[in-house]
Structures are given as C-alpha cells and as structure tokens.
C-alpha cells in the first residue's frame, strides 16, 4: 500500500486528559502534512481543530459519551449538537455497553439512533464504538448489527481506554458482520505500520491511532 493511501485511512488521535492547545495544533499540522483522513480530539478542542484545519480536506472528529458509554442519551445528543456546531464532521460515540450486556437491545439501538439523527442534522457522520475487549463474540456481532441498523457509518473496535484495543480477529469479524453497510474503524494499540496494514488487510477502512506519524515513518522505512 502506498503511503498516501494508508494516510488517507488514519484518524490522527489525541484524547489524553492532559492534552493542551499546543498539542492539538501540532496534531493538526501533522494531519495536514501527511494527509490524514481526520484528527480526533476531545470535544473542548473541536473549535480549535476546525480553525487549524480550515481550507484543508482533513476532517475533525470528536468523541461522545466517552469513554464509558454510560451517559444519558440526552447528554450524548447534546454533546453531539455542540460538537457539530463547533465544527466536528465525525462523531465517535460509545454505545451503551451495560444495556448490551443486559440484553436491552432496543435501548442500545435507540441510543445510537438518537446521536445519528442529531449528527445528520448538521451533516456529520457517526462511528459507534463497541469496546470489543469487553464483549463476547456474539455481543460483538449483535452490537455491530444494532449500530448499522441505527444508521452508524462505522463500527469502531475500541476507545483506547478499555482493557484491550483492536485485534485483527475483531476487525475481520466486524467486517464480516457489517459487509458493505458500514465501515470498520480499528482503534486502540495500533502503533506500527505493520499493525496498521494488518488491520486494513482484515477489513478496516479507518485506523484510529495516536501514532500516525510513527506509522508513516515506519512505512517509509519498509515497516
């Protein structure tokens, strides 16, 4: 895969609690330089990122209900509205994991659908974060199907704050489940060009990583 092709799949991510404006500006400059698909920042930095990337094809993504997914749906919807108004084009939301575990599947789907509706009103798309390390294989499949039914554009493996990140096996399973109905975003623990390429080979159409620059440098070195 050519460097520019891989770069176009990367969400260059900075979600640390101690992230600063200086760090966000650097993230945006790197995204411009390498041609990444998007930057993914905490909600308070959406406006700054949008300003830094004005005139650039790099999109601004942010997180909602993050990292637990256990917020009121109304709060997730309000977070989404504020983020879109500030310039977010993509919303990475955490599903209601507890409801999924309980078998309250309508609750899971309605939670995602409410965020999808709010995002769509502002022209933004939604990625549903499943936190696969906490799910059984059956739950992963169920969660992915519910997210797609609710209108999510992507299913995403992980927050990066859970007990594990993306695996090739999970990416492959999610791709088999959603087919062409949605994209698959592999996120969590992807730090090398080799691992990024393995995720793409398994079916990932986006890569969420805080190591975007290192990945591109590794690709230039032949991994």
Residues designated catalytic: 92, 156, 185
CA distances from 192 to 2, 16, 199, 216, 222 (A): 15, 19, 11, 8, 11
Closest by alpha carbon to 161, among 195, 207, 208?
Answer: 208
Sign of CA pseudo-dihedral 172, 127, 166, 49: positive
208's torsion region: left (phi>0), alpha (psi -120 to 50) or beta?
A: beta
**Distant-in-sequence, close-in-space partners of 178: CB < 8 Å, separation ≥ 6:** 144, 145, 148, 155, 184
| CB-CB contact of 181 with 150 (8 Å) | no
What's the CA gap between 171 and 63, in Å, rounded? 20
**Are 36 and 7 in contact, with CB atoms under 8 Å apart?**
yes
């Amino acid at each position: 895969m050519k460097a520019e092709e891989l770069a176009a799949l990367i969400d260059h991510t900075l979600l640390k609690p101690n992230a600063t404006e200086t760090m966000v500006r650097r993230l945006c400059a790197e995204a411009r330089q390498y041609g990444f698909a998007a930057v993914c920042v905490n909600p308070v930095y959406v406006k700054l990122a949008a300003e830094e990337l004005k005139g650039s094809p790099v999109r601004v993504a942010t997180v909602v209900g993050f990292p637990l997914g256990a917020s009121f749906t109304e709060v997730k919807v309000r977070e989404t509205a504020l983020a879109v108004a500030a310039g977010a084009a993509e919303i990475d939301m955490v599903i209601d994991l507890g409801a999924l575990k309980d078998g309250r599947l309508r609750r899971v789907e309605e939670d995602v659908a409410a965020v999808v509706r709010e995002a769509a009103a502002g022209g933004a798309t939604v990625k549903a974060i499943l936190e696969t390390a906490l799910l059984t294989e059956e739950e992963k499949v169920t969660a992915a199907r519910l997210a797609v039914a609710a209108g999510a554009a992507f299913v995403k493996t992980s927050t990066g704050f859970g007990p594990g990140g993306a695996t090739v096996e999970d990416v492959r399973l999610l791709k088999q489940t959603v087919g062409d109905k949605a994209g698959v975003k592999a996120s969590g623990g992807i730090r090398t060009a080799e691992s990024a390429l393995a995720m793409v080979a398994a079916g990932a159409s986006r890569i969420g990583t805080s190591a975007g620059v290192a990945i591109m440098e590794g690709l230039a070195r032949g991994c």
